[in-house]
Structure 1
């Protein structure tokens, strides 16, 4: 088992927050029918959900529910709260106990080491979504890129069609000789050339 560290991906998301202007919150993102504000609300929720998954603690009754993210629900203190939640997420997955047994997030139960990969995938892809939507550059480490590419490649196989639904959109064709990150985006249903103008 290769232990994943979420720090680089989380740090990149935090870096992007300073570049999000208030007048961009209603703008589109590469996620269909999802505004920048709704994407930020999703990041707020997933950071908690995957922290609870690492700690094997059930979400509180008033915790975030997957699929209910919206621009209207975005906490006005997101610029302060999201970095704090991402920091807790990174710390939680650095505990060796987080990697043992099975755990649950968003109503899905799976081996903890696989859940960590899903958490990384969410941070990286939604970090890219946020960067593209707000006109900022995005960077991903080679190790994180390799992990996300492996995950999205597996999800794009025909036998994974049922599990893919609701997680990714239809695969976007990307040349086989394209950079690894672009291929990961394509398998995740994203167009590497997406811009707000093309939305």
Structure 2
């Protein structure tokens, strides 16, 4: 079994449950991802699931659409495509020739990073398994500079070297682990 796929499933389940627990009265709350309020961030996650489904299936770049409230369904379709072994092979022309393995890790980063954002914004817990955190930390360490160049990550937030791995990952992608609404 592909370890990244297992981590994607766990992050998708955790983030879907979180999204489903958010009330309409929370949609306007600010998030650590300063570009988005809660509703905008859920919309971004919906688009991300559709995008990563398309590129894993050798499809085209899909532009963002308006919030529909169907995140779980979209992420389930994304996972169904990543279940196929051929989805992990080669590169995606839709995103500049990036290897599909890198794209799967980008999807994982998106699910966990924005899942944490939503949890912080709404005062909910968001636990991540240690193997997933370690994989994300290693991936972010390799890609953070490029992610910042492309606007995918914010400026690095200094986090002590002895901080938990999740906090160090968050710092690398431009989140302050101590952020509060």
What TM-score comes out, normalization by structure 2 length? Answer: 0.91
Contact 2:147 2:153 in 1 (8 A): no
Deviation at 1:144, TM superposition (A): 1.4
Secondary structure of 2:21's aligned partner = coil
List alignment gaps of at least 5 residues for structure 2. none
Where is the helix percentage greater, Structure 1 or Structure 2? 2
Paired residue for 2:67? 74
Aligned positions of 1:40-189 closer than 5 A: 40-59=42-61, 63-65=62-64, 73-75=66-68, 78=69, 81-105=70-94, 107-156=95-144, 160=145, 163-165=147-149, 166-189=151-174
Say how many residue pairs are matched.
Answer: 177
Contact 1:149 1:180 in 2 (8 A): yes
Runs of 4+ with deviation above 6 angstroms: none
Could you tell which deviates more after superposition, 45-54 or 84-93?
A: 84-93
List alignment gaps of at least 5 residues for structure 1. none
Secondary structure of 1:143's aligned partner = helix
Q: What's the Cα RMSD here?
A: 1.6
Deviation at 1:33, TM superposition (A): 3.0
1 CA distance for matches of 2:18 and 2:39?
A: 14
Deviation at 1:163, TM superposition (A): 4.5
What CA deviation, in whole Å up to 9, does each residue of 1:111-138 have, x standing for no partner? Answer: 1111111111111101101111111000
